[in-house]
Amino acid sequence: MTSAIIDLLKQDQFFKKDIIRLLETHGEDRTLLFKKSAEVKEKYIGNKVWFRGLIEFSNICGKDCLYCGIRKGNKNLTRYNLSDDEILAAARFAYNNKYGSIALQSGELEGSFVAERIENLLNKIKELSHGELGITLSVGEQEPEVYKKWYDAGAHRYLLRVEATNEALYRKIHPDDSKHNFRRRLDCLKSLQDIGYQTGTGVMIGLPFQTMADLADDLLYMKEFNIDMCGMGPYIEHADTPLIEHSGTLLPLKERFDLTLKMIAILRIMMKDINIVAATALQAIDPIGREKAVKIGANILMPNITPGKYRDSYKLYDNKPCTDDSAEDCQSCLEARVSLADAVVVYGEWGDSKHYSERRNIQAGKD
């Protein structure tokens, strides 16, 4: 089998059957996959890692996704919403510590108040950092004019995880109503890309009902959509969600972890110059999970700079790590972890996706 995998990894493009074969590798074949993805990362990205200071500014959500700990229907959760001053203090910490970029993340809410509040925050963050902090948003589905308003105010990256690109699977992990519309999710991704954002998406790996074919299709979708960045991680159950009833059908956590590493490795080979996040959820399974992801393809880490007293209330899944760490602790910890992965943190840079620049240049040539 090893010689067949060597030949497969020499291909310029992968078909669905090829991806499934790589997802099912083990032993020496798995080692060859990770060796190849590490080589691709070294060639196109180098040994660099960029920070995105993560500000989880609110766990109030208007959606009821069946897998998520901050879903609207979870009554066993203390809700919070950071003040503007608390958000700006966290952004100032990132700026003073030369993170280069921050990521503003929250539950999904829409409306004029949300749109105006985030626009105002973007303006203030740009002002306090003299335009030097890069800004990623991850606040869910919005109308195109809202995305455009935020883009004009200084946000230039947006992560909107689709969680599953198979519509039938998507419907199994979301309520069947107008607030959880698969087509709208994809339309929002297209709007973000058209407006000019560095556009990212991602999926959960190891979901109930999910197959290897689904995961292969997820990677093919990302390639076809031409994403600039990806944030994907293992599905980890939360006790206060409807999907917990299917926990007995799931792959063991270690297998979900291993499958996630393979997804990262294959995506790095398929999309050589995009940004790939080493998800915090990996560390919930393996103490050095994020380092392993960095070694085989990931190049973005998201140290949590949310004020500590709120972190325990932003649990999308159970056993979320680092909720007791201060922002300073998180930075020191990640620096050490990055060095263990034979990589270096680049400070004072946005760390924009190289793929984005190439994509925009090609688009400009067509126009």
Average pLDDT over residues 306-335: 77
Average pLDDT, the chain: 94
Mean pLDDT of 238-242: 96
Contact 180, 211 (CB under 8 A): no
pLDDT in tens, 126-167: 999 999 999 999 999 999 999 999 999 999 999 999 999 999
Angle, helices 16-23/2-9, rounded to nearest 10 degrees: 130
The reported pLDDT for the residue numbered 337 is 78
Burial of 295 (0-12, 13-18, 19+ CB in 10 A): buried
Write down the pLDDT at residue 329. Answer: 62
Of 212, 206, 210, 254, which Cα lies nearest the Cα of 234? 206
| Segment 284-299 mean pLDDT | 95
C-alpha dist (Å) from residue 14 to 35, 125, 212, 258, 260: 17, 42, 15, 20, 18
Tell me what the mean pLDDT of segment 326-354 comes to: 83
Taking 70 as the threshold, does the pLDDT of residue 176 lie above it?
yes
Q: For residue 335, is pLDDT > 60?
A: yes
**Look-up: residue for tokens 């099912």?**
24
> What pTM was computed for the model?
0.95
Query: Residue 308 contacts by C-beta under 8 Å, 6 or more apart in sequence?
Result: 323, 324, 325, 326, 327
The alpha-helical segments, DSSP class H, found in 165-211 are 167-172, 182-195
The residue ranking higher by pLDDT, 366 or 152, is: 152
d(CA 266, CA 46): 17
Residue 111 reports pLDDT greater than 70: yes
Round to the nearest angstrom and report the end-to-end CA distance of the chain.
46
pLDDT number for residue 170: 98
More confident residue, 308 or 237: 237
Higher pLDDT, 317 or 186: 186
CATH says 2-366 is which class?
alpha beta
Return the exposure string of 128-157: e unless at least 16 CB atoms fall within 10 Å of the residue's CB, then b.
bbeeebbbbbbbbbbeeebbbbbbebbbbb
Instruction: Tokens 């299709």: give the residue.
Output: 217
- Quickly state the pLDDT bin for 336 (edges 50, 70, 90): confident
Question: Encoding tokens for residue 80?
Answer: 């919070």
Tell me how far apart the alpha carbons of residues 287 and 289 are, in angstroms, rounded to a whole number.
6
Spatial CA neighbour of 263 closest among 42, 41, 89, 37: 37
Q: Give the confidence band of 360 by pLDDT, cuts at 50, 70, 90.
A: confident
